[in-house]
Amino acid sequence: MNRKRRGALLLALLLAIGALTAGAAALEEPGKAMVRNGGSFVFVVREDGTILGWGDNRHGQLGAERTKLLLKPQAVADGISGTELLDIQCGNENTLFLKRDGTVWTCGTASRGAQGLGRLDSSVKTPTRIPDLERIVQISCGFGHNAVLDADGHIWIWGRNDFGQLGLGDKGARNRPVMLPLEGITAVACGGKFTLAQDREGNLWGWGSNTRQVLDAGNRQAILTPMKLEGFEGKRIVQFAGGSDCAFWLDEEGTIWTRGRNEYRQLGSPDAKGGSWPELVKVDIPEPVRTVCAYSATTAALTEGGNVYIWGSTSAGQLGNGKSPNGTWPVRVSGDAVQVAMGSLISSILTADGKVRVAGYNAYGQLGDGTKRSSYHWVWNGTTAWDE
């Protein structure tokens, strides 16, 4: 198959996948390519099943028992092939892999039980199966806590819990998965210190940190058990994502709704004033959005037309356009995109021709260009999602 035809076929597949983030179901077609960002590291799954990675590996979060920093793309996720994966999701220092057989594999830090293996004191540097999880259909990572959804509509959750982000009624960390007493759940997403979910009736749920009123406009107390969210009457939500104390809900019309923390304009709307905004507002993007993804105080959207908009805290160069404002409204930074991923101070884009471009902070080699120099422009490090 020639490159042009193959690119067109893969484009159709990848547009269906979108920028798969928490709150979106994994696609089960074989041969998919993907890009995923963790805190300071990046994964790329190529169409042939090769899993490449670069950046911070000090806790084994790239799943490779080698050097602590990978400055250039290398084969990672030892023992796992991309052809058997449905999804990869990354936290600050840990990674989850969802296989097609419904099993979940983990690597990275054990801090506060993030691995889900019963450990609190040692990193896991190669992907290891979490034995308590079966028939899983979706995975998500926050800043130290994790949530997965099984085929029966139950959420299993573990890790950090100092803000009640596990929804278990207390603030004690869990080092193994625990099932929440919710039923009929169809999607789950971890924010930084809170968790979001949706049930089959379309109801939206949330629990965890509420200091910026991202979950409940009526108070600022932590929400320790799942509560039904208000303010979404008349909106049919199809995907959602959480950052650090801000959240984003995408409706069927392609409009993003948001509330929460806003010091760096991370809500993306001139209607949101001050450091926090408790009421839902519309993100200012002039075209229908396909997917939204968030990390910390920076958010990105991929539109139906293949354009990428980024907003919020962008002082490390995440816009990739040579500018470094520390707080910006949505800015179009790329066209011809099929996926976008956000990390801590880095942005990654997979384009329709299979190339991966990265911009932003680079102290841990997360740009993959062989240096530790940050870049305010998009860096192409030679990585492709399929062969030239």
Residue 106: closest CA among 92, 116, 96, 120: 96
Helix (H) / strand (E) containing 5: helix 3-17
Encoding tokens for residue 284? 């200012």
pLDDT at 31: 57
- For the sheet with 145-150, list strands across it: 136-141, 145-150, 155-159, 174-179
Percentage of residues in the chain with pLDDT exceeding 70?
Answer: 91
pLDDT at 68: 92
**Residue 384 has what pLDDT?**
87
What pLDDT does 359 receive?
Answer: 97
pLDDT at 387: 59
DSSP tag of 229: -
Give the per-residue pLDDT at 32: 76
- Distance from C-alpha of 362 to C-alpha of 56, rounded to nearest angstrom: 10
The residue ranges of the chain whose pLDDT is under 50 are 1-28, 30, 388
Calculated CA dihedral for residues 134, 139, 140, 145, nearest 10 degrees:
10
For 172-185, b/e burial (b = at least 16 CB within 10 A) is ebbbbbeebebeeb
Domains with residue ranges and CATH for the chain = 3-384 (2.130.10.30)
Q: What is the distance between the alpha carbons of residues 330 and 223, in angstroms, rounded to a whole number? A: 30
Residues 94, 109: Cα–Cα separation, whole Å: 6
Secondary structure class of 12 (helix, strand, coil): helix
Tell me the CA end-to-end span of the chain in Å, nearest whole number: 11
- What pLDDT sits at residue 86? 96
Amino acid, res. 1: M
Q: What angle do CA 265, 205, 153 make, to 5 degrees?
A: 130
**Strand pairing class (355-360; 346-351):** antiparallel
Sequence letter at residue 269: S
pTM of the model as a whole: 0.92
Q: What pLDDT is recorded for position 382?
A: 86
Query: Which pLDDT value is given to residue 256?
Result: 98
